[in-house]
């Protein structure tokens, strides 16, 4: 994810863009850049780091005058965060400038073709390829910028929100959208362009949100012209009157980042498998695995190290790897692993999971495993982070920046990446028939829509939260694939609402926690149809006969548990191994609502930090 801002009008563009970028920093903050047209030329400044660093650099190094410009705050996907890879990017002639939020999946083949035609590239980004493709089309077809953008976009595969201008025609900005958000603010003889409305809300309440596959020519003195990218059909702008304040808009209209991030999961999961999972072709393509397949195929075992929520994703992965790919797996807390003199050989593959890529214990565990000769693979969310750099290979989750301290979309996207790896290994090892492999791939493709459906439980979860918000202890139970979900559900509740909660394997309850059950004790049970259903039903009976309150997460249409439980929350049916991606959703919502009802600081709970860089 990245944030984009553009301005064309009669005011100084520089302060508007800088302020706008600050407001969009939640979308990414590893590097930033700005391009301003001063009436004669383009002045460009870019830097690794935050918008504050950009401002310091630009104040000193460029003329910041001009009423046309655009800026970008980056969350790196292609190319490490550095000055060169930061946006905006120039075309080879220096006439066109672009900012882009998204991923151009087929950029490599386009780049090769452009290189053959004499183009050179400064950065490793997919975006620089796109601006040069636009330039090449403009030249070859002898068309205006808008048309060139349209033709070029019909050649690319991927997701984008882009803004482009041509210094030879400085009265217009061309914008387009597919997958990533893009809003146009309409002022008095001025236009604003941004990833959301927060950069322009104090200047205008009138905005147009582009739909997917739409583009617009934003020209001074003219009304906005909208077109469909595919067939050039005219689209009519739906001008909305915004009623939000700035605070709300930065959180996309949600009260808290955590809730926003919970709701981003369908998109985050899709972004994570986009370009990797090709169900129609029956393949999974992951460079980090493809290039080191032998290491995985010959591994004696996989050791997973992580902390916190990432450790829970590792536990889910243990079930998936062993069940599907038949590889032995051990999951370790990084902090324990690094200090217990573990036996590691060069036949081991170590997978380190980390949202931030900066967790000190996980980093230390990686170093130890490398010293002992293991092959180390990273699953990180933050591009260019220490863990991403330290590992031999890896695969990023594409969750986008996670700001709420309680991890939500990082968890489900980590599981998505790990599932892709396990499926790939299962196929390569001959554990899966073509048809079984295909069944998994197609089901995985339905998950974003099913997560969307699971999110529809929100109003019911809110009602249930109100019933249990004053509990002092809670128990979370699950079996098999859903045992780690029980652990994660309990962690979510305790970290943001400060209620004591424990997660347990449902059957293990009899060996201790059952002593705690009385009519005051809420017990959250994951009881989906596939996966030891009958056994979980017996566990529910055991709780019921001790008067515990049962809140069950069940498969749509469930009857048996529904009869027994005090409350049920339904999630769509899926394969057992994919069920954690759905069952975790109501538990995230539950902890969120309880924390809000108890007046807790949801996004910044006491004593916690988003990234723990000390051991
Ligand atoms: C902190 C965060 C957790 C996170 C854990 C591991 O405790 O508050 O949300 O799960 O660190 O962080 P990592 O960035 O390595 O996933």
Could you tell me the CATH number of the domain that includes residue 226? 3.60.20.10
CA distance 200 to 152: 29
CA 46 to chain centre: 24
User: Are 467 and 439 in a shared domain?
Assistant: no
- For residue 330, being part of any structural domain is answered with yes
User: Are 441 and 485 in a shared domain?
Assistant: no
Rounded to a whole number of angstroms, the CA Rg of the chain reads: 25
Give the chain's domain count.
3
pLDDT at residue 245, as a whole number: 66
pLDDT at residue 403, as a whole number: 85
pLDDT at residue 211, as a whole number: 87
Among 262, 611, 613, 615, residue to substitute to test ligand 1 (most atoms within 8 Å of Cβ): 611
User: Are 475 and 544 in a shared domain?
Assistant: yes
- For residue 501, being part of any structural domain is answered with yes
Q: Which among 323, 577, 317, 316 is positioned nearest to 441, based on CA atoms?
A: 577
Among 304, 306, 314, 359, residue to substitute to test ligand 1 (most atoms within 8 Å of Cβ): 359
User: Are 24 and 169 in a shared domain?
Assistant: yes
pLDDT at residue 1, as a whole number: 65
- Is the peptide bond between 88 and the residue preceding it cis, with omega within 30 degrees of 0? yes
Rounded to a whole number of angstroms, the distance between the first and last alpha carbons of the chain is 29
pLDDT at residue 510, as a whole number: 87
Ligand 1 site residues, Cβ closer than 6 angstroms: 307-310, 354-356, 359, 362, 405, 407, 608, 610-612
Q: Which among 376, 403, 413 is positioned nearest to 611, based on CA atoms?
A: 403
Determine the distance separating the centroid of ligand 1 and the alpha carbon of 155, expressed in angstroms: 39
- For residue 497, being part of any structural domain is answered with yes
Alpha helices (H) along 298-375? 308-320, 334-337, 360-371
By CB atoms closer than 10 A (0-12, 13-18, 19+), residue 87 is: buried
- For residue 555, being part of any structural domain is answered with yes
User: Are 500 and 549 in a shared domain?
Assistant: yes
Domain of residue 17: give its range.
3-102+160-248
> CATH number, domain at 514?
3.40.50.10490
Final residue belonging to a domain, choices 426, 454, 482? 454
**Pairing mode, strands 240-241 and 206-209:** antiparallel
pLDDT at residue 210, as a whole number: 92
By CB atoms closer than 10 A (0-12, 13-18, 19+), residue 116 is: exposed
- For residue 137, being part of any structural domain is answered with no
User: Are 15 and 82 in a shared domain?
Assistant: yes
Final residue belonging to a domain, choices 392, 424, 454? 454
User: Are 220 and 238 in a shared domain?
Assistant: yes
pLDDT at residue 613, as a whole number: 62
Determine the distance separating the centroid of ligand 1 and the alpha carbon of 457, expressed in angstroms: 26
User: Are 211 and 316 in a shared domain?
Assistant: no
Q: Which residues contact 352 (CB under 8 A, 6 or more apart)?
A: 304, 305, 306, 334, 362, 365, 366, 376, 377, 378, 379, 387, 391
Determine the distance separating the centroid of ligand 1 and the alpha carbon of 308, expressed in angstroms: 5
User: Are 85 and 188 in a shared domain?
Assistant: yes
Final residue belonging to a domain, choices 232, 248, 264? 248
- For residue 144, being part of any structural domain is answered with no
What residue owns the CA closest to ligand 1's atom 2?
Answer: 610
User: Are 291 and 420 in a shared domain?
Assistant: yes
User: Are 330 and 373 in a shared domain?
Assistant: yes
pLDDT at residue 406, as a whole number: 95
- For residue 397, being part of any structural domain is answered with yes
Cβ atoms within 10 Å of 142's Cβ, excluding its own: 9
User: Are 274 and 383 in a shared domain?
Assistant: yes
What residue owns the CA closest to ligand 1's atom 15?
Answer: 354
- For residue 378, being part of any structural domain is answered with yes
Cβ atoms within 10 Å of 551's Cβ, excluding its own: 23
Q: Name residues of the chain where pLDDT drops below 70.
A: 1, 244-249, 384, 613-615
pLDDT at residue 248, as a whole number: 59
């Amino acid at each position: 994810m990245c944030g984009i801002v553009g301005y064309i009008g009669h005011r100084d563009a520089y302060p508007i863009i800088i302020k706008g970028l600050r407001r969009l920093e939640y979308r990414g903050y590893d590097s930033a850049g700005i391009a301003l047209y001063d009436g004669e030329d383009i002045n460009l400044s870019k830097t690794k780091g935050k918008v504050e660093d950009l401002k310091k650099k630009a104040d000193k190094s460029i003329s910041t005058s001009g009423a046309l410009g655009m800026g970008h705050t980056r969350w790196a996907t292609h190319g490490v965060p550095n000055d060169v890879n930061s946006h905006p990017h120039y075309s080879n002639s220096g006439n066109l400038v672009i900012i882009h939020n998204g991923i151009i999946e087929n950029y490599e083949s386009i780049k090769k073709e452009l290189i053959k035609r004499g183009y050179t590239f400064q950065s490793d980004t997919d975006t620089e390829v796109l601006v040069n493709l636009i330039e090449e089309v403009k030249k070859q077809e002898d068309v205006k910028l808008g048309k060139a953008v349209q033709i070029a976009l019909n050649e690319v595969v991927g997701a984008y929100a882009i803004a482009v201008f041509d210094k030879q025609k400085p009265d217009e900005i061309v914008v387009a959208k597919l997958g990533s958000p893009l809003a146009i603010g309409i002022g008095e003889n001025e236009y604003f362009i941004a990833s959301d409305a927060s950069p322009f809300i104090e200047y205008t309440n009138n905005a147009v949100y582009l739909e997917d596959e739409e583009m617009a020519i934003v020209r001074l003195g003219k009304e906005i012209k909208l077109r469909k990218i595919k067939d050039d059909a005219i689209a009519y702008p739906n001008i909305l009157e915004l009623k939000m304040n700035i605070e709300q808009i930065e959180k996309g209209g949600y009260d808290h980042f955590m809730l926003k991030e919970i709701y981003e999961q369908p998109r985050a999961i899709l972004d994570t498998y986009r370009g990797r999972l090709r169900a129609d072709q029956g393949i999974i393509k992951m460079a980090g695995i493809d290039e080191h397949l032998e290491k995985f195929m010959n591994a004696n075992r996989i050791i997973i190290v992580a902390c916190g929520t990432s450790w829970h994703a590792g536990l889910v992965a243990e079930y998936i790897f062993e069940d599907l790919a038949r590889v032995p797996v051990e999951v370790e807390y990084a902090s324990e692993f690094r200090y217990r003199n573990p036996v590691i050989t060069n036949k081991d593959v170590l997978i380190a999971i980390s949202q931030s890529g900066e967790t000190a214990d996980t980093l230390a565990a990686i170093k130890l495993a490398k010293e002992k000769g293991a092959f180390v693979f990273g699953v990180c969310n933050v591009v260019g982070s220490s863990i991403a750099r330290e590992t031999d290979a890896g695969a990023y989750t594409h969750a986008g920046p996670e700001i709420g301290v309680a991890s939500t979309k990082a968890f489900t996207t980590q599981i998505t990446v790990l599932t892709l790896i396990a499926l790939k290994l299962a196929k390569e090892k001959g554990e899966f028939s073509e048809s079984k492999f295909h069944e998994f791939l197609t089901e995985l493709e339905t998950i974003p829509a099913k997560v969307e459906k699971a999110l529809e439980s929100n109003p019911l979860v809110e009602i249930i939260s109100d019933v249990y918000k004053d509990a002092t202890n809670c128990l979370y139970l699950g079996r098999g694939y859903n045992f780690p979900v029980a652990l994660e559900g309990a962690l979510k509740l305790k970290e943001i609402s400060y209620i004591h909660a424990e997660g347990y394997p449902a059957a293990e309850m009899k060996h201790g926690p059952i002593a705690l059950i009385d009519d005051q004790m809420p017990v959250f049970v994951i009881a989906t149809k596939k996966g030891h259903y009958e056994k979980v039903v017996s566990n529910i009976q055991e709780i019921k006969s001790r008067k515990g309150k049962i809140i069950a997460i069940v498969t749509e249409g469930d009857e048996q548990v529904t009869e027994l439980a005090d409350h049920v929350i339904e999630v769509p049916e899926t394969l057992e191994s994919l069920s954690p991606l759905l069952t975790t959703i109501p538990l995230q919502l539950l902890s969120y609502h309880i924390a809000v009802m108890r007046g807790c600081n949801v996004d910044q709970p006491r004593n916690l930090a988003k990234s723990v860089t000390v051991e």
